[in-house]
């Protein structure tokens, strides 16, 4: 019945072979492959046919070579565009979990590329010519930098905590202060990790105050270890108290128990020497008597995603023998990147220059303001009548749960829509969408009636400015198109 209303559809639309003979389409076949182009042609013609069956009028130019080629090229570009793409992180959060956390230094990128493209001694000990342990590529470095006896690496810090608990506390109790039962991103909670590890959580103290006596009174026959969790993603202020690490370590050792500390953010240097807020380090925690310390590789350490366990050799070796370790182990690329980043810490005088995380965190506020003023005219020209652009003071944050209440002075561009026929919220969302549609998507934040771009993390100024000419806005309405 539908075809009776459109009897000439087959004659109107070109055949697949005819489209393939078009010179511009043949060029696409060379670029993307014959198979991919044929699939795109069939998909496009099928959509055109369906539209005509539903009564849509198909302009003659839509069936001609220039239009068909444009549509095919757009389809192929979209199909072959990687899902993981570069973006400009102008959110003001340096270690942004959704945007990949720490950026790797050039040394780490080169190391990863080398092991990706050729065989390497991942688990091969070159001296005796026998099977080796993949942890050896970073264990000595971690021991050197933290003062630990031994170390092992898994795929993230949650996995590190899970592995420690599953190894040392299965079917037993772990004592933790009630004020340290944290939830990290994605609703992963310490109590849930403990349950998955097969151990029982024993809460002590209160949300804001926990004393050494609370731990002492809770120790029993089924206690496996005492655990302290660094509150890296929140802060409790006011009438507070917590048991000092040295006292907890002494209590644990007096009762023959290990003392485990989950540090989370993993700063390997005293950040206060760079003018940043103080964050506890694994070195300090081990010196206070901790038997094991776990922390992340892709937060303040500035490396790849990894969970690092350092501490007493006896305990670390026991953890390595757990069969769960194989399921949580890291690959050669992570180890290569981590080794390269750790070696940068041997040159503390050059660390802020070579480590992107530290470089961005210590970027002078005056430099960020100067950058804002340089790019403001280009942004204003790109948005035209869609928004008013101004340079405003703001504060950046470290991110990924590190130093959550500490802010860094910075400067931003604030884009406030001029015409708000559909409401301020709609105009802002459409403006933000237009910037995300650029070849390198630009990610900012919406607050206080403006789309804000904090330029702390913008290091490639020219690339950012050059693509602004491709920003697509409706200049008549002052809004980005739907």
CA dist 303 and 237 (Å) reads: 31
The percentage of residues in the chain with a pLDDT greater than 70, rounded to a whole number, is: 90
CA dist 275 and 409 (Å) reads: 12
CATH number, domain of 126, equals 3.40.640.10
Instruction: Read off the pLDDT of each residue in 135-144 and give the average, rounded to a whole number.
Output: 98
pLDDT at 7: 52
Are 294 and 150 in a shared domain?
A: yes
Per-residue pLDDT tens over the stretch 428-473: 999 999 999 999 999 999 998 999 999 999 999 999 999 999 999 8
Q: Is the pLDDT of residue 4 over 50?
A: no
Instruction: Read off the pLDDT of each residue in 178-197 and give the average, rounded to a whole number.
Output: 76
- Answer yes or no: are the C-beta atoms of 401 and 158 closer than 8 Å: no
Domain membership flag for residue 481? no
pLDDT at 313: 98
Average pLDDT, the chain: 90
Are 61 and 123 in a shared domain?
A: no
User: How many separate domains does the chain show?
Assistant: 3
Are 418 and 323 in a shared domain?
A: no
Domain membership flag for residue 478? no
Per-residue pLDDT tens over the stretch 166-176: 999 999 999 99
CATH number, domain of 396, equals 3.90.1150.110
Q: Is the pLDDT of residue 5 over 50?
A: no
pLDDT at 480: 38
Q: Is the pLDDT of residue 39 over 70?
A: yes
Higher pLDDT, 54 or 387: 387
> Given the structure tokens 């010196």, which residue do they identify?
287
Per-residue pLDDT tens over the stretch 82-100: 999 999 999 999 999 999 9
- pLDDT range class, residue 180, cuts 50, 70, 90: confident
Positive/negative CA dihedral, 134, 138, 143, 146: negative
Structural domain containing residue 21: 2-79
pLDDT at 302: 97
CA dist 223 and 225 (Å) reads: 6
Domain membership flag for residue 423? yes
CA dist 119 and 428 (Å) reads: 50
- pLDDT range class, residue 481, cuts 50, 70, 90: very low
Q: Is the pLDDT of residue 234 over 70?
A: no
Per-residue pLDDT tens over the stretch 289-312: 999 999 999 999 999 999 999 999
Least confident of 185-189, 238-242, 258-262: 185-189
Q: Is the pLDDT of residue 117 over 70?
A: yes
Domain membership flag for residue 475? no
Q: Is the pLDDT of residue 139 over 80?
A: yes
Are 342 and 392 in a shared domain?
A: no
Helix (H) or strand (E) holding 48: helix 34-53
- pLDDT range class, residue 35, cuts 50, 70, 90: very high
Domain membership flag for residue 338? yes
Are 263 and 123 in a shared domain?
A: yes
Least confident of 220-234, 259-273, 294-308, 322-336: 220-234
Domain membership flag for residue 42? yes
Are 126 and 54 in a shared domain?
A: no
pLDDT at 2: 40
CA dist 217 and 194 (Å) reads: 21
pTM of the model: 0.89
Are 304 and 370 in a shared domain?
A: no
Are 238 and 370 in a shared domain?
A: no
Q: Is the pLDDT of residue 371 over 50?
A: yes
Count H helices, E strands: the chain? 21, 17
pLDDT at 184: 64
Q: Determine phi and psi for 189, rounding to 5 degrees.
A: -120, 150
DSSP states of 194-221: HHHTT-EEEEES-SSB--HHHHHHH--T
Last residue of a domain, one of 331, 354, 377: 354
pLDDT at 235: 66
Domain membership flag for residue 477? no
Domain membership flag for residue 178? yes
pLDDT at 8: 60
């Amino acid at each position: 019945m539908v075809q009776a209303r459109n009897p000439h559809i087959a004659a109107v639309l070109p055949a697949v072979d005819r489209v393939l003979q078009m010179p511009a389409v043949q060029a696409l076949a060379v670029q993307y492959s014959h198979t991919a182009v044929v699939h795109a042609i069939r998909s496009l013609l099928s959509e055109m046919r369906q539209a005509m069956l539903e009564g849509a009028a198909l302009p003659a130019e839509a069936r001609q070579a220039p239009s068909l080629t444009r549509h095919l090229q757009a389809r192929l570009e979209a199909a072959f565009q990687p899902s993981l793409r570069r973006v400009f992180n102008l959110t003001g959060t340096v270690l942004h979990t959704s945007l990949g956390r720490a950026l790797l230094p050039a040394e780490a990128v080169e190391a990863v590329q080398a092991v990706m493209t050729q065989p390497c001694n991942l688990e091969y000990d070159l001296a005796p010519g026998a099977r080796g342990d993949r942890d050896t590529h970073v264990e000595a470095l971690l021991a050197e930098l933290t003062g630990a006896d031994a170390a092992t690496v898994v795929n993230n810090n949650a996995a590190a905590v899970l592995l420690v608990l599953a190894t040392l506390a299965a079917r037993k109790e772990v004592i933790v202060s009630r004020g340290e039962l944290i939830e990290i991103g994605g609703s992963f909670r310490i109590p849930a990790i403990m349950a998955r590890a097969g151990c029982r959580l024993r809460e002590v103290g209160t949300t804001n105050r926990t004393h050494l006596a609370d731990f002492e009174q809770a120790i029993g026959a089924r206690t496996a270890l005492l655990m302290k969790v660094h509150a890296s993603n929140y802060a409790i202020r006011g009438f507070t108290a917590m048991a000092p690490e040295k006292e907890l370590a002494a209590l644990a050792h007096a009762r023959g128990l290990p003392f485990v500390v989950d540090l989370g953010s993993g700063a390997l240097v005293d950040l206060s020497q760079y003018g940043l807020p103080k964050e506890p380090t694994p070195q300090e925690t081990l010196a206070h008597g901790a038997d094991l310390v776990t922390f992340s590789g892709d937060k303040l350490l500035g490396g790849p995603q990894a969970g690092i366990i350092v501490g007493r050799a006896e305990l670390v070796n026991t953890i390595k023998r757990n069969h769960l370790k194989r399921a949580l182990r890291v690959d050669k690329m992570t180890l290569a990147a981590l080794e390269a980043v750790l070696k940068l810490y041997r040159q503390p005088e050059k660390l802020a220059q070579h480590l992107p995380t530290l470089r961005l965190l210590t970027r002078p506020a005056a430099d960020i303001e100067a950058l804002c003023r340089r790019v403001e005219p280009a942004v204003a020209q790109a948005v035209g009548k869609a928004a008013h652009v101004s340079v405003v003071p703001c504060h950046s944050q470290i991110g990924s749960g590190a130093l959550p209440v500490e802010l860094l002075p910075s400067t931003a561009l604030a884009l406030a829509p001029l015409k708000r026929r559909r409401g301020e919220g709609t105009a802002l969302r459409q403006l933000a969408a237009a910037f995300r549609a650029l070849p390198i998507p630009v990610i900012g934040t919406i607050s206080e009636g403006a789309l804000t771009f904090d330029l702390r993390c913008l290091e490639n100024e020219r690339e950012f400015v050059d693509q602004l000419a491709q920003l697509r806005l409706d200049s008549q309405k002052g809004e980005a198109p739907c």
